[in-house]
């Protein structure tokens, strides 16, 4: 076979190869080795020296093979080279085999990118000494338009982009689990992921690619990644690097799904975005349902308020005579009249303080009556005892009975709850919170400020930055929505890092938009919440000092000066604050009934006559549940909200205090008045 015939078959093969796609690749073969293999593979006697070098040793063909000889296509995850065809000719067949073997021995290393429309020289002419012209034929390939790069970037830069995309795509396929992809698609289907609809197409395609990749033998995976990374484009090949990729990686790593979604939404959601519903998927619900059914606990899910008739004398530390005899009601008409006397909590500042253990051991056993002073600051301490609707239902909880409790968490006008809902930290050693637009009539931009000892200034300019003192502003609302109660918040988390000296808190009207109703503020430390109201109009750029505190390592935090605190009485859960209320029953939390020890923190409950929880609390909380439910905790969190406790008369509600949090309560027995310290 002459070279002209071989060249024609070569061109036909390459044309067929190009027809089957729109992208080519480069095998990682040394270009010198490629040319040497071509020359050395001709059978003996077929590539003899012509004049000074071998017949096939042509500079035009050498340039072609070095530039285009290692170009390959990927078909069905196999490498197909430009040399993979059969001539049936003894001269050229060994050359094709050798070139094919060499190229397929090396992995694909790049996408082929060129701005040239063709490679090689079709013909060249030589003038002989006798005046005749000899025509020499060489390798030549013309590329279809779709293979020619029109990018403004250089060829090497485009190739580098493709290499990066392939690397990210492979990592995504190997490091992201199928479960993570399916979970996110379930969240989107449940409309539980902010802007999740935007990712449905990419995630669905990625799930398909993920399944294909993991069904392949190891030897086919590299070529699959090269081919698919170009085919699917950047949105999918680089999915790991997008916002949804953070969520995919976090779920794959085993992060709690709610925390993973919060991290994702922190990236993509606006500052004031509020999650519309609990995070769980249909699959998670089905698995949790199987577990509950398997354990025979379906009857345990229904919850209601506990009544005096539900508990026994063995469950209580103290009960008044009426409660002991009837387990229903507490007091009488004269006791109810006593409640109408409003008192100033400040007058009890000098009352001797005793620890809760001393109170239980020395004071309570000798009391025939017990009244407690409910103060405004006790609003978060309101608590209800919760019982199962089916009396004999087995327990869902870590302890041996089916009772639980719910603190006041649904206070519609609680500034602390609003700050927490907005993402603010309310658990520090010192907190300054600001609230406005309660009546939807003040869309000014108010800012919370604190100047620390030494002049360090905490304000919106450094939002989210943790200062050396541990102080940080974490909520900053600039444009209150018409129906939004706006809040801002500064919290210190580590008293050891706080500087000694004066801390000044003030509110600045950064932008006046016509609001005239002023603001409310809270300062919390040492278990006490100090409430302030400034209901006057603030002019543009006006600053109002709320309070000055002094911190001393020996004396702690003390108030120097402030706006007047709001201590006027109000009604919560049917109880008037700043008044004494009779206690019907005093008890430990159910996790410490019947001598149980070490099952969570101990709480002290003072159940009050007339207390009525009007917020329909959750039926249970995840921290109470048995360990086998923890793998389904997202579903149980949602179930706890679904199984809300309906309002009921004569419920066991009152004040609760944790053994782990500092607080105090003024208690009056028939013989003495003391301040009990927790």
Report the CATH number that the domain containing residue 439 is assigned in CATH.
2.60.60.30
Please indicate whether residue 580 or residue 415 has the higher confidence score (pLDDT).
580
Q: What is the pLDDT of residue 566?
A: 63
Q: What is the pLDDT of residue 140?
A: 95
Q: Does one domain contain both 61 and 46?
A: yes
Average pLDDT of span 588-605 = 85
pLDDT tier, 274 (very low <50, low <70, confident <90, very high otherwise)? very low
pLDDT of 457 higher than 80: yes
Average pLDDT of span 83-103 = 94
Q: Is residue 8 part of a domain?
A: yes
Residue whose token pair is 């395609």: 205
Average pLDDT of span 206-233 = 95
Q: Does one domain contain both 366 and 433?
A: no
pLDDT of 334 higher than 50: no
pLDDT tier, 326 (very low <50, low <70, confident <90, very high otherwise)? very low
Q: Does one domain contain both 242 and 268?
A: yes
pLDDT tier, 332 (very low <50, low <70, confident <90, very high otherwise)? very low
pLDDT tier, 75 (very low <50, low <70, confident <90, very high otherwise)? very high
CB 545 within 8 A of CB 532: no
Q: What is the pLDDT of residue 467?
A: 96
Please indicate whether residue 333 or residue 74 has the higher confidence score (pLDDT).
74
Please indicate whether residue 114 or residue 310 has the higher confidence score (pLDDT).
114
Q: Does one domain contain both 336 and 381?
A: yes
pLDDT tier, 331 (very low <50, low <70, confident <90, very high otherwise)? very low
C-alpha 664: how far from chain center = 36
Q: Does one domain contain both 454 and 556?
A: yes
**Dihedral angle of Cα 665, 670, 673, 675, to the nearest 10 degrees:** -20
Q: Which of 236, 262, 277 is the last residue of a domain?
A: 277
Please indicate whether residue 221 or residue 59 has the higher confidence score (pLDDT).
221
pLDDT tens per residue, range 394-414: 888 888 898 999 888 644 346
Q: What is the pLDDT of residue 409?
A: 60
CB 489 within 8 A of CB 518: no
Q: What is the pLDDT of residue 417?
A: 76
**CA–CA dist 562, 481 (Å, integer):** 30
Q: What is the pLDDT of residue 216?
A: 96
Q: Is residue 345 part of a domain?
A: yes
Q: Does one domain contain both 421 and 561?
A: yes
Q: Does one domain contain both 559 and 423?
A: yes
Average pLDDT of span 406-425 = 74
Q: What is the pLDDT of residue 214?
A: 96
Burial of 337 (0-12, 13-18, 19+ CB in 10 A): exposed
pLDDT tier, 70 (very low <50, low <70, confident <90, very high otherwise)? very high
Q: Is residue 642 part of a domain?
A: yes
Q: Which of 511, 536, 566 is the last residue of a domain?
A: 566
Residues 6+ apart with CB under 8 A from 385: 305, 306, 311, 403, 404, 405, 590, 605, 607, 651, 652, 653
Q: Is residue 557 part of a domain?
A: yes
C-alpha distances in Å from residue 152, one per residue of 115, 116, 145, 155, 237: 10, 14, 16, 9, 22
Q: Does one domain contain both 87 and 218?
A: no
- Two tokens, residue 614: 């009007």
- In the chain, how many domains are there? 4
pLDDT of 143 higher than 90: yes
- In the DSSP assignment, the letter for residue 131 is S
**CA–CA dist 351, 330 (Å, integer):** 26
Q: Is residue 582 part of a domain?
A: yes
- In the DSSP assignment, the letter for residue 362 is I
**CA–CA dist 121, 627 (Å, integer):** 76
pTM for this structure?
0.48
Q: What is the pLDDT of residue 197?
A: 82
Q: Does one domain contain both 115 and 246?
A: no
Q: Does one domain contain both 14 and 140?
A: yes
Q: Mean of the per-residue pLDDT values for the chain?
A: 86
Q: What is the pLDDT of residue 336?
A: 36
pLDDT tier, 386 (very low <50, low <70, confident <90, very high otherwise)? very high
Q: What is the pLDDT of residue 57?
A: 78
Work out the number of other CB atoms within 10 angstroms of the CB of residue 127: 9
Q: What is the pLDDT of residue 462?
A: 94
Q: Does one domain contain both 428 and 508?
A: yes
Q: Is residue 667 part of a domain?
A: yes
CB 1 within 8 A of CB 92: yes
Q: Is residue 286 part of a domain?
A: no
pLDDT of 520 higher than 80: yes
Average pLDDT of span 414-430 = 85
pLDDT of 60 higher than 70: yes
Please indicate whether residue 348 or residue 89 has the higher confidence score (pLDDT).
89
Q: Does one domain contain both 255 and 184?
A: yes
Q: What is the pLDDT of residue 157?
A: 95
Q: Which of 117, 147, 177 is the last residue of a domain?
A: 147
Q: What is the pLDDT of residue 339?
A: 44
Closest CA to 26 of 209, 218, 163: 163
Average pLDDT of span 229-244 = 91
- Two tokens, residue 191: 């409309």
- Percentage with pLDDT > 70 across the chain: 87
Q: Is residue 285 part of a domain?
A: no
Which structural domain, as residue segments, surrounds residue 183?
A: 158-277
Beta strands in 369-492 (DSSP E): 370-374, 382-388, 404-407, 430-436, 445-451, 457-458, 471-475, 486-492
């Amino acid at each position: 076979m002459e070279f002209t015939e071989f060249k024609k078959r070569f061109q036909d093969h390459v044309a067929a190869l190009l027809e089957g796609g729109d992208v080519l690749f480069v095998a990682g073969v040394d270009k010198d080795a490629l040319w040497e293999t071509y020359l050395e593979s001709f059978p003996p006697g077929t590539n003899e020296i012509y004049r000074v070098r071998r017949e096939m040793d042509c500079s035009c063909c050498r340039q072609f093979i070095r530039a285009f000889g290692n170009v390959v296509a990927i078909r069905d995850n196999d490498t197909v080279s430009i040399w993979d065809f059969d001539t049936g000719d003894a001269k050229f067949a060994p050359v094709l085999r050798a070139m094919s073997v060499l190229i397929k021995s090396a992995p694909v290393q790049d996408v082929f990118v060129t701005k040239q429309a063709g490679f090689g020289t079709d013909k060249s002419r030589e003038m002989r000494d006798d005046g005749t012209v000899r025509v020499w034929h060489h390798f030549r390939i013309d590329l279809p338009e779709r293979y020619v790069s029109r990018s403004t970037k250089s060829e090497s830069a485009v190739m580098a982009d493709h290499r990066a995309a392939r690397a990210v795509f492979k990592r995504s396929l190997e490091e992201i689990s199928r479960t993570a992809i399916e979970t996110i698609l379930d969240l989107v289907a449940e409309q539980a992921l902010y802007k999740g609809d935007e990712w449905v197409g990419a995630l669905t395609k990625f799930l398909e690619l993920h399944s294909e990749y993991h069904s392949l033998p190891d030897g086919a995976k590299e070529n699959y990644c090269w081919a698919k990374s170009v085919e699917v484009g950047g949105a999918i090949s680089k999915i790991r690097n997008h916002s949804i990729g953070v969520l995919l990686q976090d779920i794959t790593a085993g992060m709690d799904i709610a925390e993973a979604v919060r991290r994702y939404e922190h990236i993509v959601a606006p500052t004031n975005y509020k999650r519309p519903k609990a995070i769980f998927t249909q699959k998670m619900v089905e698995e949790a349902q199987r577990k509950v059914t398997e354990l025979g606990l379906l009857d345990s899910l229904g919850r209601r308020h506990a009544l005096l008739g539900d508990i026994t004398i063995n469950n209580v530390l103290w009960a008044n005579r009426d409660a002991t005899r009837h387990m229903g009601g507490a007091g009488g008409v004269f006791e109810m009249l006593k409640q109408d006397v409003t008192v100033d909590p400040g007058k009890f500042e000098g009352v001797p303080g005793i620890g809760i253990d001393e109170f239980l051991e020395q004071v309570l056993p000798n009391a025939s009556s017990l009244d407690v002073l409910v103060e405004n600051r006790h609003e978060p301490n309101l608590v209800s005892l919760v019982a199962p609707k089916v009396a004999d239902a087995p327990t869902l909880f870590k302890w041996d009975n089916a009772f639980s409790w719910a603190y006041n968490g649904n206070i519609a006008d609680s500034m602390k709850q609003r700050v927490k809902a907005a993402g603010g930290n309310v658990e520090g050693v010192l907190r300054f919170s600001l609230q406005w637009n309660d009546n939807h009539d003040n869309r000014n931009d108010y800012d919370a400020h604190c100047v620390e000892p030494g002049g360090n200034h905490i304000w919106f300019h450094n939002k989210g930055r943790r200062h050396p003192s541990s102080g940080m502003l974490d909520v900053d609302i600039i444009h209150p929505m018409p129906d939004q109660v706006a809040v801002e918040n500064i919290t210190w988390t580590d008293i050891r890092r706080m500087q000694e000296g004066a801390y000044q808190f003030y509110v600045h009207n950064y932008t006046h938009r016509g609001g005239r109703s002023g603001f409310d503020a809270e300062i919390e430390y040492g278990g006490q919440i100090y409430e302030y109201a400034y209901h006057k109009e603030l002019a543009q750029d006006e600053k109002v000092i709320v309070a000055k505190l002094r911190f001393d390592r020996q004396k702690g935090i003390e108030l120097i000066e402030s706006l007047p605190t709001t201590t006027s009485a109000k009604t919560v859960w049917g109880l008037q604050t700043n008044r004494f209320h009779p206690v019907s029953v005093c008890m430990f939390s159910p996790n410490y009934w019947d001598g149980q020890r070490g099952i969570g923190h101990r709480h002290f409950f003072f159940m009050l006559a007339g207390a009525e929880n009007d917020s329909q609390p959750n039926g249970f909380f995840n921290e109470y549940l048995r360990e086998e439910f923890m793998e389904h905790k997202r579903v149980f969190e949602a179930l706890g909200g679904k199984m809300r406790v309906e309002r009921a008369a004569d419920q066991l509600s009152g004040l609760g205090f944790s053994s782990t949090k500092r607080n105090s309560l003024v208690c009056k027995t028939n013989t003495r008045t003391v301040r009990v310290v927790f």
